[in-house]
Chain A
Amino acid sequence: MTELTDADLVYRFQKGDRCAFSALVRRWEGFVLRVAARVTGDMNEAEEVRQSVFLRFLESPKAVRRADRFAAWLRRMTVNEAITSVRRRIRRQRTADRLRARSVGIETPHPDDPLEAADEADRLAVAMAWLEPDERALLSLRFDEGLTFAEIAAAMAMPASTIKSRTTRLVARLRAMLCADIQADDEARS
């Protein structure tokens, strides 16, 4: 089964082979979870996104019109689902904030608080939190998954040239935020 390509597995699954679906999940679950985790910044939410992406494929196998483009379809689905999840959560939070008393603060890590950014994973997460969900998705596809600009462009429905220029700007911003955090961390320790 592991010898089969994505296209073979998709074709088999579309014919009703459940094992083919399981194999595709095993092959792509890491990608979906990593990207979703970077975009959402929350592992539980990322798992929900992953569940949702695979569930959609399970419910509608024919949604993948071209089996040889399964990877592109899955990447796009992952990015869209993760961004939608973040936006949904932000809407919920805004509603909750409005309902809550003003005196109650939001207990989420903030880049201004260096103590919250204890290690490099947290520092990266905090820096990423400053970015928009689609910007996080772009960086994740680039640096987590090592995709080319063309592949990222296909996943995000944007021209490759736009992706390239956005990546350059985002990398600069990310570096600036990471450096600022390290300096703040050092000052706090000293």
Chain B
Amino acid sequence: MRGFQDRTDLFEPPDDDLRALFQRTAPEVTPTDVEALFATVKTSRPYQQSVPSRRLVMTIRITVGTMIAAGVAAAFSFLVPHETTAAFEFAEVQREVAATRTVAFTTTLAFDGQPRMVMRTLVLAPDRLRVEAEGHFTVIDFKARKRMTVDTKHRTVQIKELLTTESPESNLYALFTEVARDPIETLLERSLDGKRALGFVATWHGHEVAIWVDPKTKLPVRVQSTREEFGHTWRRSSRRSPSIDRSTTHSSR
């Protein structure tokens, strides 16, 4: 260390007393136990090991660890099937629908962009369908080829034979059994109501139908179709409902 007087910024004369006070009151310096220091290092790690080498060891460890983690992740990605559109066929969706006893949908029918009607549909597999709209509900039995319409407002009931020209859109159940005959396109994954959905496009009875499927349950969550007639656009959007009032389904005769 250099001498105190050699410094360029010497103490101001008034501070000399402080400097003297500090020096007078400086603690007595006891010798450092160097051997204890060496002993401490010996028990922990060799002091010859330099910082860069330890840094290198740590870097190698991190790199190897990252590579192993990446390898494991890659292996898992190969083993676990991806929940992408390509990961399962539309036929699986059809099988799931066929195996499901009840599926409820809420359908919004829009005419030229304006909502016209909201219907709630309950599919009772394998052959019954219940459609509920404002003021009435209809129960269709495909096996018996009959439809029953209950007008809740006027308290009337009509039972009719199913027509062969029955609008196919009213029968979502049929859609899933018949659509496989047409070519299927896949859509990019999107989020519906905050959940992932995988999309398929089918041509059904001459018009396109988009079917969005929950990749977990493989059941449709939304079915959308657009139809143009006489210069007007009919848009139908059906989304699966968690529940529907089934109390009136027992009234079908």
Contacts and interface: CB of A to CB of B under 8 A. Distances in A.
- Do A and B come together as binding partners? yes
Interface of A: 14, 16, 18, 21-22, 25-26, 29-31, 33-34, 37, 43, 46-47, 50-51, 54-55, 58-63, 71, 120-121, 124-125, 139-140, 143-146, 148-150, 171, 174-175
A58 B48 contact: no
A124 B37 contact: no
Contacts of B32: 25-26, 29, 50-51, 54
A18 B29 contact: no
B15 interface: yes
Chain B interface category by residue count: 35 or more
A146 B7 contact: yes
Given A16-B48, A60-B51, A120-B24, A143 B29 contact: no
22 contacts: A16-B48, A22-B34, A25-B37, A29-B32, A33-B29, A34-B27, A50-B32, A54-B37, A55-B37, A58-B38, A59-B41, A59-B45, A61-B50, A62-B51, A62-B52, A121-B25, A125-B25, A143-B18, A143-B23, A144-B22, A144-B23, A144-B26
Contacts of A21: 34
Given A120-B24, A174-B18, A55 B52 contact: no
Nearest to B15: A171
Interface of B: 1, 4, 7-9, 11, 15, 18-19, 21-27, 29-34, 36-38, 40-41, 44-45, 47-48, 50-52, 54
